[in-house]
Amino acid sequence: MRMSALSPTLQAVRTAVEARLARALDAHRARCTGEAPAADELFDAAADLMSSGKRMRALLGAVGLALGEPGAAPEQRSRLMTGAASASLGSALELYQASALVHDDVIDASATRRGRPTAHRRWAAQHVSSGWRGDAAAYGEGAAILLGDLLLSLAGIEIGRAVRPLADGARAGAVRDAFDVMTAEVAVGQFLDVRGEMVLPPSPDDDPIASGRVMLTSALTVVRRKSARYSVMHPLVIGALLGGVTSADPLHKALEIFGEEIGIAFQLRDDVLGVYGDPDLTGKPAGDDLREGKRTALMAMAWQRADRPGRLLLSRVLTDRDASSELIAAAADLIRDCGALEAHEKTIAAHARAGVRALDDVPSGALDDAGRADLSSLARALTSRSS
């Protein structure tokens, strides 16, 4: 998502959230490390992880917050989006995102994140270089899990800070409930993803249409639960609830549909980048999703379209975590040549259109031109990105 394509107000949101993140981490570090200097390592890792990122979820939260004041003057709208409540909400969303990434990297045994060694790999390397006793990999994984837990706890503190000034207890409760639902939903989605990777893939001799359909259905379920809703829908809706939109408002339902559809398109784009992305932009090796044997929607579409030799190739990639670079490249070529990539792009476009269309029937009194413009800008950025 290119920040240069976003409005000055959205870029100011990013700056405000980063300032709040720094203050939050400093405050929690001071509270926790006084009698345990070694705990600084945990906060150093948290600060390092939070020092980069597009702040996409924070931007969505700020846009949602402003939707609670349709018709607001530009100056007032800018103050809402860059104010204390918005910054705390953005901080909570970004901290939660970071916690999920750390845990995801441990689960996937990922070596890199944003072009750098993952947290568990860095701590394992520290264990080795320090000559400590015990298993280095186990220490790295344990420390990273605790880092993820810390970030999740800090996210909870920040969402509490965002709602604390609200006089309306029901409104504050709705925000907290929506945040909690988001975190629980991601855990379920992550479990479904982990479980799905353990189930044996289809045989190349099975009916490719039927077996590919099963793979596609499973992949899209994980997309919705693990990433699409928490990447786009939940941040946007939580922001709207914080801004005063209620679940009874027509805008609320429209935002849910918009967010889920754009979120699906966003994750499907991520699946393309996981095969064909530029490592300098994505921070991950080329073909990383293939190397990890991920059963994505893109893989399912290729399975349905490939001939038997092609399915044999895909089956090898799905089952061999040590597949050679040549095998990965051949699978990437097959996915493109069999028409799966083109079909996948059409699916992304269809979900993006469905998301934007969900806003068509919202009255102008509930969604003004400025809100529509921000939602349209974010929809384009999220679905046509290169990193």
Among 134, 135, 148, CA closest to 106: 148
Question: According to the model, what pLDDT value does residue 197 have?
Answer: 85
pLDDT, tens digit (0-9, with 9 covering 90-100), for 261-305:
999 999 999 999 999 988 877 777 778 889 888 899 999 999 999
pLDDT of residue 12: 94
Comparing C-alpha atoms, which of 373, 371, 376 is closest to residue 64? 371
Query: For the segment 212-256, what is each residue's pLDDT rounded down to a tens digit?
Result: 999 999 999 999 988 899 999 999 999 999 999 999 999 999 999
- Cα(126)–Cα(16) distance, rounded to whole angstroms? 33
Q: What percent of the chain has pLDDT over 90?
A: 75
The pLDDT value given to residue 284: 74
Which residue is listed with tokens 């398109």? 265
**What domain range includes position 249?**
3-383
Q: Which residue has the tokens 């073909």?
A: 287
**CATH number of the domain that 147 lies in?**
1.10.600.10
3-class SS string, the chain? CCHHHCCHHHHHHHHHHHHHHHHHHHHHHHHHCCCCHHHHHHHHHHHHHHCCCCCHHHHHHHHHHHCCCCCCCHHHHHHHHHCHHHHHHHHHHHHHHHHHHHHHHHHHCCCEECCEECHHHHHHHHHHHHCCCCCHHHHHHHHHHHHHHHHHHHHHHHHHHHHCCCCCHHHHHHHHHHHHHHHHHHHHHHHHHHHHHHCCCCCCCCCHHHHHHHHHHHHHHHHHHHHHHHHHHHHHHHHHHHHCCCCCCHHHHHHHHHHHHHHHHHHHHHHHHHHHCCHHHHCCCCCHHHHCCCCCHHHHHHHHHCCHHHHHHHHHHHHCCCCCHHHHHHHHHHHHHCCHHHHHHHHHHHHHHHHHHCCCCCCCCCCCHHHHHHHHHHHHHHHCCCC
Residue 320 has what pLDDT? 87
The pLDDT value given to residue 138: 97
pLDDT (0 to 100) of residue 98:
96
Count up the domains in the chain and report the number. Answer: 1
Residue numbers in the chain where pLDDT is lower than 70: 1-5, 386-387
